[in-house]
Structures are given as C-alpha cells and as structure tokens.
Amino acid sequence: MGSAAVLKDRKNQIFRKGNEPFDIDCNKDSLAGAVSQRACVFCGSRVVLYPIADALHLVHGPIGCAVYTWDIRGALSSGPELHRLSFSTDLQEMDVIFGGEPKLEKALYELIEKHEPKAAFVYSTCIVGIIGDDLEAVCKRVAEKTKIPILPVQSEGFKGNKREGYQAACNAMARLVGTGDIKGISKHSINILGDFNLAGEIWVIQEYFNKIGVEVVANITGDGRIEDIKRAHGAALNVVQCSGATMELADTMQERYDIPSIRVSYFGIEDMAEALYDVARHFDDSEMMRKAEILVRDELKTIMDKIGVYRESLTGKKAAIYVGGAFKAFSLVKAFRLLGMDVVLVGSQTGTKADYEELEAITDDGTIIVDDSNPLELAAFIKEKEVDLFVGGVKERPIAYKLGVAFCDHNHERKEMLAGFEGMLNFAEEVYSSVMSPVWNFVPRRKEVR
C-alpha cells in the first residue's frame, strides 16, 4: 500500500499479522485530518441509552446534536415508542451568553407533563460543557417536583472519544439500578447487557434463555424499561455482549451488589451456542445444560443444510470486517470461517488492547488488523487484498460500492436480524446473495470484464 494511504501518526494503529510481534495502539482520541470513523462522547452515550423505550431523552444543546443522533439505532420496542422521538433544548446565541439552565428546566417540565415518561435522561453537549450549565442541579430540582428519576448524562463531546460516552451512559444507568423491588426474582436469573434489539434480536435471545429455564430480569438496553433496570440488582448474573458499551455497568454492579458477569456473543452458531452453555455452566445446573444442548441441536438441524449450500459457492472468497465494537468482529471471523471465506482485514472503532490481541489470535497470517480506521485507509486495504465482501456500517457502504465490492450491513441502523441461530442463516443468505450477484462481473476491477 502506498505511503499516501496512511498518515504518519496512524501507523501504530495498523498491524499486519505475521510481520512482527503484536503491538497495536488503540483507544486514542481520533486524529485530526484523518476523517475518522470514531464518533464523539455524546454520540457514544446516546447509542447506549437510546433503546430505553419508556424514558424521555432530552439533548441539552444545539439542534444539530439531536439531529445527529436521532433514531440512531434500529432498536425495536414491544411497547412504548417514546425513545423514537428526539427532543432538544435547541440552544441559541442568547442561551450561550446568559446560560441555558432556565430553558432546560422549562423543557423538562413541559415534556414530562405531555409524555409522562418513567424517567428522563438529559444529555450534555460540547457547548453546555463550555458555558458551564449545571445539569446536576437542574435535574435534581425537576426530579423533586415530578417524582421521577431525572438523570444527567455527562457526555460533553470534547471529553474524549466514543468510549467515554459509553461510560457516561453506564454512570447514568447505575443511578437507577438498586432503586426497585427485587421480590420474586428466580435464583436462575440474568440481565442481558449490551444487546440493543436491532430488528428484534433480543426477543429471540430471551426466548432461548427462557427455554433453558433462565429468567431475564432486565434488558440493558434493547427494548429496555426503567422499572426493570431499577430492579436489575436482583439478578444472579450479568450476561454482557457489547462489553465496550456496558461492561462498566456490569463492573459497577459487581462492586456494589456482588453480581458476577460473563462476556458472550450472540452472533454465529459457535458463539450463540457457547453463550447458552456458559450461562448453564455458571449456574452449575445439569438440567439447564441438557435443555441448552437440545435447543442447540434442534436449531442446527433447521439451518445447517441450507448454510452448506451457500458454503459451496462462498468457499475461498475474501471478506473484510470493520465494525463499531470488537465483540462483533470476533463472531464475524468465526461466521465467515463457517462459510468457507477468508477474513483478510478486520478492525473496529472502539476496540481495546485485549480485544485486538484476541483478534490477532483467531485470524490468519497476513490479516490486516486496524483500529479507528478512515475511508482512505479502508479503500486502500480493500483494493490491496482484492476483497469480495465488506462488512461494516452505513459509513462504509459507499466505500464498498464505489470500489465494486459487495457489502453487508452489520451496524446499528440495520433492519435484518443477524443474531441467534436464525440470524446466522439470515447472514449466510445475505452474504451469498451479495457476493454472488452477477452485477460484480461488470465492475472495472473484475478480470471478466472485456
């Protein structure tokens, strides 16, 4: 790859397996001038809290911040739809000069009276941090009068990067946990952390756990409810999928309430089965393990023959992965291996050192591992590796199509269920239909073009 494709200060965030001992920089503030894929602190907090469906979400700042994160996830609700609305105090020049606290307080009273939420999250933005509005004081005053939790989310964008936003969200939720009644909760109970119910995935995951005899106390945050989060401290185990987004809350709950946690993934056959087995092992329940084994066997009978048909055509094809959280990347590497495809590029926006070490361990020599990449780099890597399929989010789609490469959306705006056993079949079908489309025979990079 030419030197123009990588900025000098970015080189330590790019690694090629097999060339040298593994050492990659990550969790850094995005590099100015790189047109980074990583979002701000405020955005990080919003993507975590947004799916709590019966809460009011009020952005204290300019209208652009609320627009930027409006309906940012394909998070479905089985009941309330209040989370689908994006409210803002719409700070103007005079508010910046004289302070925005009166406007915030007035907005909260008006919205609470109209929508009757179970709680309200108030998000701080860059300008609020600069002018010094006291969110804590305003939220306390309004909570005392309205008798519902009003939770400040200290998410000023300039504080760092998206990961700091995850922490701000977890800090806000931690103020809810422990305030509800925990009577009647089963000893075989869990909280599902880090699933955001994209395309209804959490409903399938809940059904799996119910079938093996596990009670789900709270979804944090997909199809989330304030009352469930309040009583989440009554669960016996936290099951954490998106560890980058919600591990901070799991750690807080372990410290305060002695609730252990395990990390899992629901993407791909191997990881979905292992998630069920891990929960059964934690409870040391032979009957639960037996039910889990039966469930996995029955689900595999339904999908494996169909997946085998797709594998025949996909074997040897090359895939590139660039996703938000590294937990998805682990599962995608395994899923592509099941389909016979080779992963030649893998990266994430928010991976940690431990995440990238795990990716290095499960990938093949020559694989490019990258942290917080940018469009210039990604385009260069895709061309260099002659990729057949690029898996990413909405920002990566134009890169793939401009280069004549098939694309699969695996980000939080998607509407297709990809988790669970059924989700693996959906993924295989989407990969097959994308990669094997005859349209790619007509792009300039293909040798078949005459």
* pLDDT, tens only, 429-445: 999 999 999 998 888 76
Name the residue ranges covered by the structural domains of the chain.
3-25+315-414, 41-174, 189-293
**How many CA atoms are closer than 13 Å to the CA of 28, on its beta-carbon side?**
16
Question: For the sheet containing 215-220, what is the strand order?
Answer: 215-220, 189-193, 237-240, 261-263
pLDDT, tens digit, 9 for 90 and up, residues 6-47 = 777 788 899 999 877 888 888 777 655 545 556 789 988 999
| Separation of alpha carbons 121 and 110, rounded Å | 15
Mean pLDDT, residues 303-324: 96
Q: What percent of the chain has pLDDT over 90?
A: 76
In the structure encoding, which two tokens stand for residue 382, read together? 């895709």
Enumerate helices (H) and strands (E) in the chain, giving the number of each.
17, 14
In the structure encoding, which two tokens stand for residue 159, read together? 């504080």
Class level of CATH domain 41-174? alpha beta
pTM: 0.91
Mean pLDDT, residues 375-389: 93
Q: SS3 helix, strand, coil % of the chain, rounded to 5? A: 50, 15, 35
Determine which helix (DSSP H) or strand (DSSP E) holds 205, and give its type and residue range. Answer: helix 201-211
Q: Is the pLDDT confidence value at 217 over 80?
A: yes
Mean pLDDT, residues 142-150: 98
Q: Is the pLDDT confidence value at 290 over 90?
A: yes
* Among candidate residues 17, 82, 88, the one with its CA nearest the CA of residue 59: 88
The CA distances from residue 5 to 1, 14, 386, in Å, are: 7, 12, 16
Is domain 3-25+315-414 classified as CATH 3.40.50.1980? yes
| Separation of alpha carbons 225 and 234, rounded Å | 15
Mean pLDDT, residues 237-254: 92
Q: Is the pLDDT confidence value at 304 over 90?
A: yes
Give φ, ψ of 367 to 5 degrees.
-70, 135
| Separation of alpha carbons 93 and 90, rounded Å | 10
Q: What is the pLDDT of residue 36?
A: 55
Q: Which CATH number does 189-293 carry?
A: 3.40.50.1980
